[in-house]
Amino acid sequence: MSYSVTATATDDYAPHERVELWRERTNAYQSALDIQCPSPGDFHGRMIRQYSGDYQLVSYWSTETHYLRTPDLVRREPDENYRLLIPLYGVTGLVTDRSEATVRPGTGALLSIAQPCRFTQSGPHRAALLTIPAREVPGPYPAACFFDVSKGLGRIVGTMIGLLRDERDELTAAQFDAACDRITELLRLLIEGAEQPPAAGRLADVEADIRRYVRRNIADPDLNGSSVARGIGWSLRQVQLALQQAGTTPRELIREERLRLARERLRDQRHRHVPITDIGHATGFPSSSAFSAAYRRRFGETPRDTRRRALDDTA
């Protein structure tokens, strides 16, 4: 059993070599990824890798970077292991074929890259990424599930990750693996038992993620609280509690977003030739009668009235 600590800094290389170095190290330490840097000439990054063969902890900082697991890369290099992401600075956008969410400091994420996905780190970003063998996390879990690391058991997990990083030069392989085993055990308890909402200071962020997911999937007539919860990686109870804090419910929010978008399109001259029935279907209403009734209750007029007034205003 061996344990190694390896440091990489792009500042030691010429500007035109930095992105390629980052790509090479990231693909060597993680699975095959397509890495894109919007400003390659200004790219900077640092990473420290702790590796024992069973577990790997990579602590890193970089300027804006996008990581893609394309279907081709997934087929070419399958990877069933999980990643525990603990953001320390900056925001990470996560997109899979079934979900999309934003991870901020104070929130941890258990991620799978077994399927195509995209990680977008906009602006400078600092985080810790622990690779956990799939056998240690039997699951099955969603491609991304989230938890609060600002309090309770989540804070303990986040603190242990920080200590593991800070004490990297004092550990043996057996000690590193033992610490990672304990973190994994606590993580399983945290994921399987998480039913509390995010901390109050981040409820607005969670609400924004819920609204963003609803807007992007508004045409789905089966959209409901459960599918939204799966899509953003929280439990239904967590979504309900977060929206309760905002004074609404999943059902009310979905209906309001459907009607808001329909009203925007009825007023938009670019949609003036789109049949009103089609606008209703495109915003998730199962029938024209259901659309018209819900619209009249919300706005006090029919969809046809809204369109007529919009056309009159531009005449």
Q: Do 58 and 157 sit in the same domain of this protein?
A: yes
Q: Do 11 and 134 sit in the same domain of this protein?
A: yes
Q: Do 51 and 124 sit in the same domain of this protein?
A: yes
Q: Do 108 and 247 sit in the same domain of this protein?
A: no
Q: Do 33 and 153 sit in the same domain of this protein?
A: yes
Instruction: Name the DSSP letter for residue 198.
Output: P
**Residue recorded with tokens 């018209």:** 292
The residue among 194, 222, 250 that closes a domain is 194
Is-above-0.75 flag for pTM? Answer: no
Mean pLDDT over 169-187 rounds to 93
Check whether 136 has a pLDDT greater than 60: yes
Q: What is the pLDDT of residue 150?
A: 86
Pairing of strands 56-62, 100-103: unpaired
The residue among 157, 177, 194 that closes a domain is 194
Q: Which of 55-59, 136-140, 241-245 has the lowest mean pLDDT?
A: 136-140
Q: Do 15 and 126 sit in the same domain of this protein?
A: yes
Q: Do 159 and 58 sit in the same domain of this protein?
A: yes
Q: How many domains does the chain have?
A: 2
Q: Do 159 and 35 sit in the same domain of this protein?
A: yes
Q: What is the pLDDT of residue 132?
A: 94
Domain that holds residue 121: 4-194
Pairing of strands 107-112, 45-51: unpaired
Whether 150 contacts 127, CB under 8 Å: no
Q: Do 188 and 205 sit in the same domain of this protein?
A: no
Count CA atoms within 13 Å of residue 148 on its CB side. Answer: 20
Q: Do 74 and 174 sit in the same domain of this protein?
A: yes
Check whether 183 has a pLDDT greater than 80: yes
Q: Summarize pLDDT for 84-133 with one digit per residue, the tens.
A: 999 999 988 888 766 777 888 888 889 888 889 899 988 899 999 999 99
Q: Summarize pLDDT for 288-306 with one digit per residue, the tens.
A: 888 999 999 988 899 999 9
The residue among 194, 212, 237 that closes a domain is 194
Mean pLDDT over 229-256 rounds to 83
Mean pLDDT over 52-67 rounds to 94
CATH number of the domain within which 233 lies: 1.10.10.60
CATH number of the domain within which 124 lies: 2.60.120.10
Q: Do 174 and 280 sit in the same domain of this protein?
A: no
Q: Do 116 and 185 sit in the same domain of this protein?
A: yes
Category of 299 on φ-ψ map: left (φ > 0), alpha (ψ -120 to 50) or beta: alpha
